[in-house]
Amino acid sequence: MKVITVAAAIILNDQRQLLVVRKQNTSCFMQVGGKLEPNELPEHSMLREIQEEIGCQASIEQFVGRFETATANEPDHLLVSYVYVVSLAHTPKIDAEIAEMKWVDLEDKETQLAPLTTEIVMPWVKLFLTESTIA
């Protein structure tokens, strides 16, 4: 099976909504981020992709982990994702290959979301917010 390795960003707003983007000619919304260049560290890739896709400087708050899921747009591929919580320096705007950007609630059932978003990111964010509320 072919493997695609990416770095992906968890970006939340004050309403505890998740920022997702849809690339041109695709149907699924997913985390901001993208494929690693040869010999590029995941955190460098993610910061570069954030700049390219939504025109923002960003800072890494936390490394969440390395996960394996199905891909959203490439059949017969495995997606390996390095996932980080990041904060943005200013309001994001669509750039590069992004067709659409939106903030989704963690309980969103209407938006077509990538497997990484539904299987890993949303459950993690719900748990993280619950634990940070308790703390």
Binned at pLDDT 50, 70 and 90, residue 134 comes out as low
56-86, pLDDT tens digit by residue? 999 999 999 999 999 998 889 999 999 999 9
Q: What is the 3-state secondary structure (H, E, C) of 39-90?
A: CCCHHHHHHHHHHHHHCCCEEEEEEEEEEEEECCCCCCEEEEEEEEEEEECC
**Per-residue pLDDT at 74:** 85
Model confidence, pTM = 0.93
Q: What is the model's pLDDT at position 30?
A: 97
Q: In this predicted model, what pLDDT tens digit does every residue of 74-119 receive, in sequence order?
A: 889 999 999 999 999 999 999 888 999 999 999 999 999 999 999 9
135: pLDDT strictly greater than 70? no
Whether the per-residue pLDDT at 132 is higher than 80: the answer is no
Q: Residue 98 is part of a domain; what is its CATH number?
A: 3.90.79.10
The rounded percent of the chain whose pLDDT value lies above 90 is 88
Taken in order 94, 98, 100, 102, the sign of the CA dihedral is negative
Q: What range does the domain containing 14 cover?
A: 2-134
pLDDT of residue 130: 85
Number of domains in the chain: 1
Please provide the DSSP assignment of 3-32 as one string.
EEEEEEEE-B-TT-PEEEEEETT---BB-E
